Amino acid sequence: MLHMGHALNNVLQDIIIRFKRMQGCNTLWMPGMDHAGIATQNVVEQELAREGLTRHDLTREEFIARVWQWKERYGGVIINQLKRLGCSCDWSRERFTMDEGLSRAVREVFVRLYHDGLIYRGDYVIQWCPRCHTAISDLEVEYKEVNGHLWNVRYPLQDGTGELVVATTRPETMLGDTAVAVNPEDERFRGMVGKQVILPLVNRAIPDIADPYVSMEFGTGALKITPACDPNDFAVAKRHNLPLVKIMDGSAIINENGGPYQGQDRYVCRENIVKDLEDQGYLLGREPYLHNVGQCYRCKTDIEPSVSTQWFVKITPLAKEAIAAVVEGKTRIIPPGWEATYFEWMNNIRDWCISRQIWWGHRIPVWYCGGCGKTIVASVDPAACPDCKGLKLSQDEDVLDTWFSSALWPFSTLGWPDETAALKTFYPTSLLVTGFDILFFWVARMMMMGLYVMKEVPFRDVYLHALVRDENGEKMSKSKGNSIDPLEMIDRFGADAFRFTLAAYTAQGRDVRMSEERIEGHKHFVNKIWNAARFSLMNLDDYPAPAATGAKLITEGASLPERWIIHRLTLVTTEISRQLDEYRFNEAASSLYQFIWHEFCDWYLELMKPTLYGKDQPEKRTAAQANLYQLLSAILKLLHPFMPFVTEEIWQTMDDRRDSIMVSPYPAFDPALVDEEAAREMTLIMGIITAIRNIRGEMEIPPAKKLHVSISAPEDVSRRVISTGSHYITHQANLESLILGNETAEPKGSITGIVGDCRVYVLLEDTIDLAKKRAKIEKELSRVDKDLEQSSKKLANRDFLAKADPRVIEKEQEKSRDLLHRHRILEESLKKFREILTTS
RNA sequence: GGGCGGUUAGCUCAGCUGGGAGAGCGUCGGCCUUACAAGCCGAGGGUCAUAGGUUCGAUCCCUGUACCGCCCACCA
């Protein structure tokens, strides 16, 4: 029921909604609509089919009641499933798709368009589904490649002077031919134009006409014109005032115009026609031909282009406004790449066939007077004919295309045509989140209708998210059986992990390839958060939850890791806010992941452990607890839009008197908490710890073995930082001793790590393989030399020095100096090793 | 036929205005260190599809080519 596309759409939307709400924004978004009108009707028709019925065996009212019944059930289930994802969905709004309010709006808009001359009724070749017995719009046709044939058929000239050979993929439609056409420039047919040809089998005389539409290159150069079966032929026929011969009924069965073929199915008829043509010597040949056949998007039946009387919206004037709105930036399409597609479609748009011969939908508000035949278009049911006062009125049987009513959503749901407060407050809405697959169906039409009715765009931002595909990049669909069930994912990995995964893989303009492994990875992340919170709360058990207001992060007198993590939190907060403002979901997710796991957990919590455990310095512990509490709160808030469940759970555990985290204020940027100095100092401390760990790992020294380390730090600043933070280094790198000097010589038998301008010497035991030590140094030296060579080359380039940005040059010089420094140190150690190796 | 997008580590993908090639998973090595083995600490791994061009400098900009994918049109 709930499929991936639904899940992605609702989750992305929910992330923005929660984020904006926490920021105190009073915005309205377009809810992800369960646009299941047609789909539901389909299901109901299938149900009926199992009972051996069609919808025509029921009355219209009975049928609609059944659809409602099904929709209620379906809708209710969907709502509950969305709740499990942490997304809210207002079923009362869903209901609105067919209720009285919308019905009023639909009629009102129809009438307005009609009176503005933008709706007309006319004959045109439309796409017709012979199974659903309804017109469908061009967009609803799905083309499928099929191996067909191209038949060449002789059409003899009436005067017996020759023949025309036409090529066709659909020989059965010749029953409806009313002309044969050639290109006026085509020399081959000079003299034939204007003559009559005999339509084989039917023996009807039809003219040979000239029209530039015919391509000289394709087929035989002669084209049969079947105006009732092909929109292009229809256009040609109009130009030449040709008659229309309709040869099929609504079920694609040949009608009385088909003579002996009457009553045959179109494909049966094709076989018979081909056979008869062959028998009578009219068939000149048949070649295999690969072409596309349109199918109904609902039932996959081959569609039958067929001339019929339908209602159309004259779309060009509406499209013009909708184009302008995007050009002028009144509505932003995100990612902007889709703008081109939008313009392309809008510029080449064709009139919109809005009538459907189905039963579920809004009836067209048009009545015909049985007395005088007048057409009445009205927003309220007319009681009598305004002309002849006759009472025998019948409403048009057709209903409107579902997208007609959907197009009114942004304002009809807010109460239009009444001037409600909601409408005044929330129109235009701030954001629409939807899949690009309905850019034309829905988004473009909402734009047009919104501008037409409200004289203002329906939304400021349109965020078009990607399609969800499976691991192999195939579009997920129930029929292919490759869909991953979101509910199963929730059961196995949790809603939070699933949500986070959806966000993490939603990069703009790319499809999402869903795989279980990724969700599992994020389940680990949720687990990490849970454990980090558990650890924090364990160390906060004697810390009273502060009053909701006034509690702040304390930098005054705070330790280095605290100053640093507060600094980082501040930066990450702005980063995430910006990323979400720009709908960069994957980046926001990545920022959170990196910060929480690799900064908060890996460094801050680890470094704070001694303080938090320490019973000897209770005042330090209390101060650390205050910050820990605030940091954890802030992290939960940042995370909340992505992981509503686990964050709320922890939030309430921290202080069960609190309101939901959902309504807590989102962390805001505080310039007072920026501390570049702390960042620099921590970078040095972390660098030294990492360097020591690196050496330990490379040399395969067991973690339990305590090391002797000495550090040479020429700069006073560095020395002070290391000195103050020495206990962090000792603890994290598991040291026995740490000696600090300004120009300490490399102790014998040690291995060197370089961090900035500092050298870190790790004393090794003699038992360690000397060759291994040497190999490590050599490896690093070659790496440094490679970089150094590249850098020197660059700096030796005059053009570079002359033309590059001075900041880039300065950076390069600094890099070069650093590399040279490293090179020297490594050379030195290597020299020493050679000496040891030769002496021993 | 027209338009759009993709090609980056073994896999899946980030890389937003040209100056350091990155993440997750997987792999390898070491750890049951009192939040977490769903974990911790480290390591290895890429001619950024290809051929040119612009530039001091190109994964990034331009052009051509190859392969993959999507959308639109549907010349019978």
| pLDDT tens digits, A808-819 | 999 899 889 888
Distance of C1' in B3 from CA in A501, Å: 32
- The DSSP element (H or E) to which A125 belongs, if any, is strand A119-129
User: When comparing pLDDT for A206 and A144, which is higher?
Assistant: A206
Average pLDDT, chain A: 89
Model confidence at A787, pLDDT cuts 50, 70, 90, reads confident
CA of A481 to C1' of B69 (A): 20
What is the C-alpha separation between A32 and A26, in angstroms, rounded?
A: 18
pLDDT(A72) > 80: no
Q: Where are the beta strands (DSSP E) in A250-353?
A: 283-296, 304-313, 332-334, 352-353
Hey, is A769 helix, strand or coil? coil
SS3 content of chain A, % helix, strand, coil (to 5): 50, 20, 30
What pLDDT is attached to residue A544? 84
pLDDT at A39: 66
- Structure confidence by residue, pLDDT tens digits, A477-502: 555 556 678 899 999 999 999 999 99
Render pLDDT for A339-387 as a digit per residue (tens, 0 to 9): 888 998 998 898 999 999 988 888 999 999 999 999 999 999 999 999 9
Q: How sure is the predictor about A391, in pLDDT bands with cuts at 50, 70 and 90?
A: very high
Contacts 24+ apart (CB under 8 A), A680-687: A681/A560, A681/A564, A681/A721, A681/A725, A682/A560, A682/A561, A682/A564, A682/A603, A684/A718, A684/A721, A684/A722, A684/A755, A684/A756, A684/A758, A685/A560, A685/A721, A685/A722, A685/A725, A685/A728, A685/A729, A686/A603, A687/A755, A687/A756
For residues A435 and A9, the answer to whether their CB atoms sit within 8 Å is yes
Whole-number distance in Å between A683 CA and B60 C1': 29
Chain A 71-130, CB < 7 Å to strand B: none
Give residue A513's pLDDT: 75
Structure tokens, A155: 């059409």
Helices A644-654 and A618-639: angle between axes, nearest 10 degrees: 150
Question: What is the per-residue pLDDT for A839?
Answer: 65
Of the candidates A782, A822, A803, the one whose C-alpha atom is nearest the C-alpha of residue A794 is A803
Q: How far is the CA of A792 from the C1' of B62 (A)?
A: 30
How many Å is the maximal CA-CA distance in chain A?
A: 123
pLDDT tens column, A617-626:
888 899 999 9
Do A3 and A459 touch, CB atoms closer than 8 A? no
Question: Residue A471 has what pLDDT?
Answer: 56
pLDDT tens, position by position, A137-187: 888 888 888 888 999 999 999 999 999 999 999 999 999 999 999 999 899
Least confident of A388-397, A458-467, A757-766: A757-766
For position A782, what pLDDT does the model report? 84
Radius of gyration from C-alpha coordinates of chain A:
38
What does the block give as tokens for A264? 């045959």
Q: What is the C-alpha end-to-end distance of chain A, expressed in Å? A: 76
**Is A286 within 7 A of strand B by CB distance?**
no
Q: Give whole-number Cα distances, A168 to A154, A171, A201, in Å.
A: 11, 6, 16
**CA of A217 and C1' of B1: distance in angstroms?**
14
Q: Which nucleotide is nearest to A293 (CA to C1')?
A: B74
Q: A617 CA, B65 C1': separation in Å? A: 71
Judge if the beta carbon of A368 is closer than 7 A to nucleic acid strand B. Answer: no
Residue A506 to residues A88, A199, A534, A641, Cα–Cα distance (Å): 21, 59, 30, 15
- The CB-side HSE value for A181 (13 A sphere, CA atoms) comes to 25
Instruction: Kindly report whether the global pTM for this prediction surpasses the value 0.80.
Output: yes
- Of A242-251, A340-349, A555-564, least confident by mean pLDDT is A340-349
Q: How deeply is A130 buried, as exposed, middle or buried, from its count of CB atoms within 10 A (0-12, 13-18, 19+)?
A: buried
Asked if pLDDT for residue A685 goes beyond 60, the answer is: yes
pLDDT at A179: 95
Instruction: State residue A552's pLDDT score.
Output: 84
> pLDDT tens across A710-721, in order?
999 999 999 999
Locate A281 and state its tokens.
């010597």
Backbone angles phi, psi at A733, to 5 degrees: -100, 0
Could you give the CA distance from residue A243 to residue A226 in angstroms, rounded to a whole number? 10
List the beta bridge partners of residue A136.
A127
CA A510 to C1' B6, whole Å: 9
How many residues are present in chain A? 840
A587 touches strand B (CB under 7 A): yes
A578 CB below 7 A from strand B atoms: no
Query: What letter would DSSP give residue A363?
Result: B
Mean predicted confidence (pLDDT) in A424-431: 90
Strand B nucleotides within a 7 Å radius of protein CB atoms = 3-6, 12-16, 19, 23-25, 29-33, 35-36, 38-44, 55-57, 69-76
